Each structure stands twice: as structure tokens, then as C-alpha cells.
Amino acid sequence: MKKPLIAFFGLGTMGGGMARRLLGAGFPVTVYNRNPAKAEPFAEEGAKIAATPREAAAGADIVISMVADDEASRGVWLGPDGALAAVRQGAVLIESSTLSVQWIRELAEKARAAGCDLLDAPVTGSKPQAAAGELCFFVGGEAAAVEMARGALGAMSKAIVHLGPTGSGALLKLINNFLCGVQAASLAEALALVERSGLNRDAAMTVLTNGTPGSPIVKTLAARMISHEFTPPNFLLRLMAKDLAYASAEIQANGIEPVTGHAALKVYQNAVAHGDGEKDLSAVIEQFRPQP
């Protein structure tokens, strides 16, 4: 059977790996990236390069976005050069970025007005999982649209979890990243205490990473924190700051005081101010270490 034509927006840390998985699976893919230089290597791998999201989306069966935040998402979907200006009726639109629930619901309404279904389908995993096709999609939206997109989503993932109506995927992703962000911030403070107190760091971290606190993210980030290996990033630190801000807003909107969310957000905001926003998430520890 002929594979659906896919338009893909955003070729950064995650999007680049995802687009390559689609190309490797034989999907015809047209890509758009705000920085055209990042798109050029994909032409050699079989992708068509579009100058605008509108150009990429024209005629596509499935349109996928993987960008940084609400503002970037609005940029690729809206306006005279945005994808919604050219999508065909019946296309499935997939927003895989980590975004606010409010914007996802607004975008879904605009998609319906264009005769399309929107799936909010953010992912868990980072750069290695994107490259290996081992992401997990958290999906909100209509079941029929999920089935139409299953082949494309499956080429990029090890699991597709349909959670319910529009916004469900976006909300669970914010909750997921809220938990990850708080753990990473507490790990940074704990490791800094280990280092400053004179404890044997190797022995202490063996206990902590292999004991009850040793979640997968703690084990992964602890290794990078200890080795000062903050580039290339698997997950940009500034994006965690953004995710915690979105999550804290959603927590408040549901009548809960985001106590740990606000505390962790301050840690990441301090890290960005410290100059570590473009480094890996593990660089959140650097603000706690003695400065040269």
C-alpha cells in the first residue's frame, strides 16, 4: 500500500531523529525547519525541503510538529505561511511538542475548522530514543485519527498510549516532566552536598543510584553530572524550565498550589541565568558548584 505523505516541522534534538525514522521506514517526507541549514542534510536522505510550513503541509496526509514551545507551535500552524492555511480536509495533524493544554485545545478547534483532526501526541524519551525509534507517544484525540496515524507513529516509537480526548496527551506529558524536573533538581542539590561535604562521591552515588532514589532519570543524569558531560544535550535545560512553567500553571488551574513545582522552576531559572540553558538538563547542578 502507498504510504501517506508526511509533512514534518522541527529538526532539532528530537525532531531530527523522528524525521529520520520516518524516512527510514519508507514514508515520503517533506520537512520544514526555521533554520534552513538544519534541513539541508535531510535532502540527501530523501526528504523534500519546504521553505514554509504552508508549503510543506500542502497535500500532506499527516502533518507532524516537534518544536520548542507554544510560541514556536503557533508559528508553524498559524498565519499566511502556517500549515493550517494549506492543509487538506481530512488530514491528521499531530502536535508532538510539549505544550500548554490551553494552546492544544485552541489548536484543536482551529484544526476542526479546517476539516482536520488534531492529535496531541508528545513523547517520552530523549535524543537516543528518538534516533532509535524507541519513543513512547502520549496521545489525546479521536480514536479514528489515532488509527490513521498509527503507522507513522509506530515508525518512531515502541509504544503508543491513547489516553482519551484532546489535551490528555499534553497534560500527562506535563505531569511526567514535572516529576522528572523535580527529581533532577533535587539530584543536583544532593550531589552538590555530597561533593562539598567531603563524602566519598563514588561510594555515595553508588548507594543513591542503586537504592530507593535511583530512578532511571537519576541514574542517567548522575553520570553526566559527575563527568561534567553537558554537551551535546539529550534534553535542553531551558526546555525543562519551560515545561515546569507550563506544568505549574496547569497545577494552579486545577486548584492545587504548585509548591515543589515552583521551587524546581526557580532552580532551572537560576540555571538559565547562570548560562546553562543551552546545555543538557544535567547542567542544572553547575549553579550549586563552587565557581572558578
pLDDT in tens, the chain (292 residues): 799 999 999 999 999 999 999 999 999 999 999 999 999 999 999 999 999 999 999 999 999 999 999 999 999 999 999 999 999 999 999 999 999 999 999 999 999 999 999 999 999 999 999 999 999 999 999 999 999 999 999 999 999 999 999 999 999 999 999 999 999 999 999 999 999 999 999 999 999 999 999 999 999 999 999 999 999 999 999 999 999 999 999 999 999 999 999 999 999 999 999 999 999 999 999 999 998 7
Closest by CA position to 247, among listed 172, 169, 165, 189: 172
Looking at the structure, tell me whether residues 27 and 152 fall in a common domain: yes
Are the beta carbons of 226 and 201 closer than 8 angstroms?
Answer: yes
Question: Is residue 1 a part of any domain in this protein?
Answer: no
Looking at the structure, tell me whether residues 191 and 109 fall in a common domain: no
Alpha-carbon distance of 38 to 142, in angstroms, equals 33
Q: Using the 3D structure, point to which of 165, 190, 211 is the last residue of a domain.
A: 165
- H or E segment to which residue 22 belongs: helix 15-24
Q: Which amino acid is at 204?
A: A
| pLDDT score at 291 | 84
| pLDDT score at 247 | 98
Looking at the structure, tell me whether residues 226 and 255 fall in a common domain: yes
Looking at the structure, tell me whether residues 108 and 14 fall in a common domain: yes
Looking at the structure, tell me whether residues 152 and 22 fall in a common domain: yes
Question: Is residue 216 a part of any domain in this protein?
Answer: yes
Looking at the structure, tell me whether residues 141 and 252 fall in a common domain: no
Cα dist from 153 to 146, 241, 279, whole Å: 9, 27, 28
For 81-156, where are the E strands, in sequence order? 92-95, 117-120, 123-124, 135-140
Cα dist from 252 to 65, 70, 173, 256, 262, whole Å: 27, 18, 16, 5, 11
Q: What are phi and psi of 8, to 5 degrees?
A: -130, 125
Looking at the structure, tell me whether residues 185 and 97 fall in a common domain: no
Question: Is residue 148 a part of any domain in this protein?
Answer: yes
| The C-alpha cell that represents 143 in the structure block | 480514536
Residue the block writes with cell 489548536: 107
Q: Which amino acid is at 151?
A: G
CATH of the domain at 194: 1.10.1040.10
| The C-alpha cell that represents 261 in the structure block | 513545582
Question: Is residue 67 a part of any domain in this protein?
Answer: yes
Looking at the structure, tell me whether residues 35 and 94 fall in a common domain: yes
CATH of the domain at 35: 3.40.50.720
| pLDDT score at 175 | 98
Looking at the structure, tell me whether residues 223 and 136 fall in a common domain: no
Q: Which residues are catalytic?
A: 173
Question: Is residue 79 a part of any domain in this protein?
Answer: yes
Question: Residue 118: beta bridge partners?
Answer: 93
Question: Is residue 64 a part of any domain in this protein?
Answer: yes
Looking at the structure, tell me whether residues 98 and 156 fall in a common domain: yes
Question: Residue 138: beta bridge partners?
Answer: 161
Q: State the distance between the two ends of the chain, measured CA to CA, in whole angstroms.
A: 61
Provide the residue range defining the domain that includes 64.
Answer: 6-165
Domain count, the chain: 2
**Secondary structure of residue 240 in the 3-state scheme:** helix
Tally Cβ neighbours within 10 Å of residue 72.
18
Q: Using the 3D structure, point to which of 118, 148, 165 is the last residue of a domain.
A: 165
Question: Taking the model in full, what pTM does it have?
Answer: 0.96
Looking at the structure, tell me whether residues 94 and 221 fall in a common domain: no
Looking at the structure, tell me whether residues 37 and 97 fall in a common domain: yes
Question: Is residue 65 a part of any domain in this protein?
Answer: yes
- What residues have CB less than 8 Å from 262, skipping those under 6 apart? 248
Question: Is residue 246 a part of any domain in this protein?
Answer: yes
| pLDDT score at 1 | 75
| pLDDT score at 5 | 98
Q: Using the 3D structure, point to which of 115, 132, 165 is the last residue of a domain.
A: 165
- H or E segment to which residue 21 belongs: helix 15-24
